[in-house]
Amino acid sequence: MNNIYKMYGILPNDLMRFVENRVKNRDRKALLQSIRLEKYLRTTDFEKLDTSKYPVCYITKATWDYPLFHMYFIVNMLDNILFCLSNKYKPVIQFENSKKINLWEQFLEQPYFVSQKDKKYQCDELDASLSWPLNPTKEEISKFSKLYQTFVKPNEQTQKYFDNEYENLIKGKRVLGVLCRGTDYTANKPKNHPIQPEADAVIALVKEKLDELKCEWIYLATEEEKIVKKFEKAFPGKILVNKRKYYDKFHTIRENQGENARISWVHFERENDNFYKSLEYFSSVNLLSKCTALIAGNCGGSRTALYLNNNCYEYSYLFDLGVY
């Protein structure tokens, strides 16, 4: 192990954290690749990185099919982007799901501009990923925020939608952002994912912190209307929510179709439903990242808010209740 430390310049504590989170089902080659990516991330200034002579790498595969755009998809693609850059390739995301939709281009700009003169390759096997922490420290938030600040750039249409919701809901206000998950996460209890707090526990902490943080408003991100109503009862006149559909009928679907039901199985009678479900979700996470402070269950959305915020919250708290 000492040779690994010397080769990659990684601290033992970082390596042990990585081993605890990711090593069990990975071979030694993948482990060393991932450590190399960790070092590359820590030591690279992406703003100064000259990719003008890098050949283009088309990223055409992902870990899952991803029927909808969500935060784990972003993480998956950021891993691929970093892998390409660390091997001196310029990444372009051309992954399409089974519906032939490039989820990245639906909402985000490509990482780099590609000219006709660039040499181009297709990258099907990207055998490395970062060690994304379940409970990121401030130092880890700063490190991973580098990727979000550089590469997670909303396209013009998405940014316009984000700006409109921000200006109408929270601009100029002191707002405590709250994320409270329900539906398939709390019903299915996915193995090795963080346990989500009960709504009553979140409400209790919000009551404790609201005056202390001098926040007049609460922005609530949740996919269940019954949770919204519970918060509105606890904090009358203080709850802000973005424009979105709620997914309470997931529970009926689960009763009829079994314990493997997913939130993506919930559909609404509108054109481009999957697009708007993804946009509403992404905008909700973006709004959380703009709040004065954050209290949330630990999930992909709340961790993304931390990375987008880049340690600018006056206070942040993710419930640490272990894993399912």
**Residue 221, Cβ density class (10 Å: 0-12 exposed, 13-18 middle, ≥19 buried):** buried
Strands (E), 5-106: 56-59, 90-93
Backbone angles phi, psi at 106, to 5 degrees: -55, -40
User: What pLDDT digit, counting tens, does each position of 51-71 carry?
Assistant: 999 999 999 989 889 999 999
Q: Which residue type occupies 3?
A: N
Shared domain check, 267 and 209: yes
Shared domain check, 51 and 101: yes
Shared domain check, 119 and 213: no
Residue 4, CA distances (Å) to 15, 35, 40, 202, 299 in order: 9, 9, 15, 42, 31
Does the pLDDT at position 298 exceed 60?
yes
Shared domain check, 176 and 305: yes
Higher-confidence residue: 314 or 29? Answer: 314
- Domain tally for the chain? 2
Query: pTM of whole model > 0.85?
Result: yes
Instruction: Count how many Cα atoms sit within 13 Å of the Cα of residue 119 in the half-sphere of its side chain.
Output: 7
- Within-domain flag for 147: no
What CATH number has the domain bearing residue 266?
Answer: 3.40.50.11350
Please give the Cα distance from 308 to 177 (Å, whole number).
14
Backbone angles phi, psi at 319, to 5 degrees: -60, 130
DSSP letters, 119-178, are -EEEE----------SS--HHHHHHHHHHHHHH--B-HHHHHHHHHHHHHHTTTS-EEEE
Q: Which residues fall within 8 angstroms of residue 42, CB to CB, at 6 or more apart?
A: 143
Candidates 194, 157, 187; CA nearest to 266 is 187
Provide the pLDDT for residue 127. 65
Shared domain check, 314 and 186: yes
- Within-domain flag for 13: yes
Provide the pLDDT for residue 21. 53
**Residue 152, Cβ density class (10 Å: 0-12 exposed, 13-18 middle, ≥19 buried):** buried
Provide the pLDDT for residue 255. 87
- Within-domain flag for 132: no
Tokens for 185, please give them: 């996460």
Please give the Cα distance from 40 to 30 (Å, whole number).
15
User: What pLDDT digit, counting tens, does each position of 147-157 carry?
Assistant: 999 999 999 99
- Say if CB 86 and CB 129 are below 8 A apart: no
Higher-confidence residue: 36 or 218? Answer: 218
User: Once rounded to an integer, what is the mean pLDDT over residues 15-24?
Assistant: 48
- Within-domain flag for 138: no
Provide the pLDDT for residue 320. 95
Range of the domain at 177: 156-319
Higher-confidence residue: 279 or 124? Answer: 279
Shared domain check, 187 and 280: yes
- Within-domain flag for 253: yes
Q: 3: pLDDT confidence band, cut at 50, 70 and 90?
A: very low
Among left, alpha and beta (phi > 0; psi -120 to 50; other), residue 289 is: alpha
Backbone angles phi, psi at 210, to 5 degrees: -60, -50
Provide the pLDDT for residue 124. 62
Shared domain check, 83 and 24: yes
Provide the pLDDT for residue 15. 44
Provide the pLDDT for residue 26. 52
**Beta-carbon neighbour count of residue 5 at 10 Å?**
14
- Within-domain flag for 141: no
* Max intra-chain CA distance, the chain: 60
